[in-house]
Structure 1
Amino acid sequence: MVMYRPLTRSELPDDTASLARTLIGKLVVRELPEGIASGRIVETEAYVAGDAAGHGYRGMTPRNRSLFLDRGHAYVYLAYGISYMLNVSSEMPGIGTGVLIRALEPLEGIAIMRLNRGIERLRDLARGPGRLAQALRIDRSLDGLDLCREGSLWLARDAHEPGEIGQSVRIGISKDASRLLRFYVRKSPFVSGPASLNR
């Protein structure tokens, strides 16, 4: 069993880019009826204040209201009608910024993740935000959840220190696309995206 404790809100920087970097090496824990599934965060993207690519750019709506909560809450949305995406609200209440969790290194509950994903290959269980959400069975029912307390979905830390952290442009966006707001563990096989961005 993996030993970890919840991340407290006071441990989360209230700056979006800083939070995206801080979350590298931390854990996402999902408590399911059949057991716990968890993974180490190896890739994130920051969507900062005034960012045209961010969902909070045009203000609060019923869909994105969780982005405007205090840092450390889940914002879950459905992308292109296909895949759910897990984000962490990242600043003070009312700001509307977040960090997209893009990839995990699976740690616990790998058999559960394989069943949820319908595949065997460890590397592909949570490499990419849609795969990650499917592996951990994350959907809109978890939107707005406080990730700083133990429950059905939460953020945790252990004694692990991540390797060298790289920085690049974000993936799959057209607005504000040149900003270096993607963070990842260099040389991790569990990171998503093209090799050109993972050096």
Structure 2
Amino acid sequence: MQPIRRTECGVALFDLLAGRPEDVAPRLLGATVRHVTDEGPVSLVLTETEAYGGEADPASHAWRGRRPRNLSMYMPAGHAYIYQTRHHLALNVVTGPQDEASAVLLRAGRVTEGESLARASRGPQIAAQRLARGPANLARSLSLTLDLDGLDLMGEGPLTLTLGDQVARIDVGPRVGVTRAQDVQWRFSVPGDSTVSAYRRASLR
């Protein structure tokens, strides 16, 4: 089965991403994210994702409504929502209908192209399976910047998403590091994959 891009197969990818985030997130396992940087391309295959349900989801950045920081979440499905927490970035794929503000956080992946560039961003001694383990490391491996926020991932820009073969088996569990809706089972990962991050439950204060 060949990977599906909107430019190759009509609206197939858009139709998938326009679904509910908890349905989209497991289907993105095995998908490829590619960033063409000034130094060359970096690609990774996704091994861990996490769904967030918009303003109705207490763990979502959209829970308190539309703000300057989260405006990209309200764009049509298939756009990038990149946010900064402390000094780190994280990449999300917007899902669902426009203005619903649901999204899938890309938590981990396996670098398949441009490993030397990923190492230049992450450090030369980092083990291959740790290069893109965790949202911040994934963003660093891809050399993401905030100016990519709001980009159409299904277009011909420098940051793209390509759907791969569907993963046969999927682990399901609670989301990592959230202080609300902690038991919602919306974290999806490839079983036994060494790039998947460890589960950490946030402490309530």
Q: Which residue of structure 2 lines up, in the alignment, with residue 52 of structure 1?
A: 58
Counterpart secondary structure, 1:19: helix
Which runs of no fewer than 5 residues in structure 1 stay unpaired?
none
Say whether the 8 Å CA contact 1:72–1:90 is kept in structure 2: yes
- Displacement of 1:195 after TM fit? 9.5
Partner of 1:169: 174
User: After TM superposition, what 4+ stretches of structure 1 lie above 2 angstroms from structure 2?
Assistant: 3-8, 10-13, 160-163
Partner amino acid, structure 1, of 2:22? A
Q: Equivalent residue for 2:19?
A: 14
Match of 2:123 in 1: 118
1:78-137: CA deviations, max 9, x gaps?
11x221000111111111111100001110111110111113310110000000101111
Deviation at 1:31, TM superposition (A): 0.6
Q: How many residues end up aligned between the 2 structures?
A: 192
Q: Deviations over 1:49-98 (max 9, x none)?
A: 4110100111111110000111111000111x221000111111111111
CA RMSD of aligned residues (A): 1.8
Say whether 1:138 aligns with 2:144. Answer: yes
Tell me the TM-score normalized by structure 2.
Answer: 0.88
The residue that corresponds to 1:189 in the other structure is 194
2:39 to 31, 34, 41: 34
Corresponding residue to 1:147 among 147, 150, 153: 153
Take 1:143 and 1:195, find their aligned partners in 2: how far apart are those partners?
A: 27
Q: What's the offset of the Cα at 1:148? A: 0.9
Deviation at 1:10, TM superposition (A): 2.5
Structure 2 CA distance for aligned equivalents of residues 20 and 184 of structure 1: 9
- TM-score w.r.t. length of structure 1: 0.90
What's the offset of the Cα at 1:48?
A: 1.0
Distance 1:5 1:14 in 2: 16
Task: Indicate whether 1:62 and 2:55 are aligned.
Answer: no
Name stretches of at least 5 consecutive residues in structure 2 with no aligned partner. 7-12
